[in-house]
Amino acid sequence: MGNKNKTISFRVNEDAFEALQAIAEERDISLSAVFRDYVDQLVEHDGQVEVVPEDDLEARTSDDGEYVSFPPTVEVPKQFVREHERLELEAEHLREQLDEYKGYVNDLQDRLEDEEDEVLLLDELDDEESYQLR
């Protein structure tokens, strides 16, 4: 289908319109480009965008004088990240094992359906197929 452009329409008061026009002139771009840039940023950051006047940036400091960014960030210890990665790998391994077990069970069920009146011995199955249960 492709990536089709869509039109968004809304109303703003006259003061806001003039302020937006001034921003567009200052950046030497069209008023539409101002909105496209904002929408692109909004989508890129999953709605976590805040428009702040440059003069207000100095006011955005914490009590200890550090800049408070938006969106707020948290530092995560490396040990936590490593543990998370280890658990992800273990979960992936368990999913793979589950898929193997499901395949083995499906194979056994298919054989039971094919050979309704016969008795299947597990020892015989182990010799025929090469399934590894871990």
CA distance linking residue 111 with residue 102, whole number of Å: 14
Mean pLDDT of 99-114: 87
pLDDT digits (tens, 9 = 90+) for 37-59: 878 888 887 777 776 666 665 56
Where in the chain are the domains? 10-73, 78-128
Mean pLDDT of 2-31: 83
Which pLDDT score, from 0 to 100, does residue 118 have?
A: 64
**Token match 């020892």: residue?**
123
pLDDT at 115 exceeding the cut of 80? no
pTM strictly above 0.75: no
Which pLDDT score, from 0 to 100, does residue 9 have?
A: 80
pLDDT at 134 exceeding the cut of 80? no
Q: How confident is the model at residue 67 (pLDDT cuts 50, 70, 90)?
A: low
CA distance linking residue 92 with residue 47, whole number of Å: 31
Closest by alpha carbon to 129, among 106, 102, 107? 107
pLDDT at 102 exceeding the cut of 90? yes
Q: How confident is the model at residue 125 (pLDDT cuts 50, 70, 90)?
A: low
How many helices (H) and strands (E) are present in the chain, helices listed first?
4, 0
pLDDT at 89 exceeding the cut of 70? yes
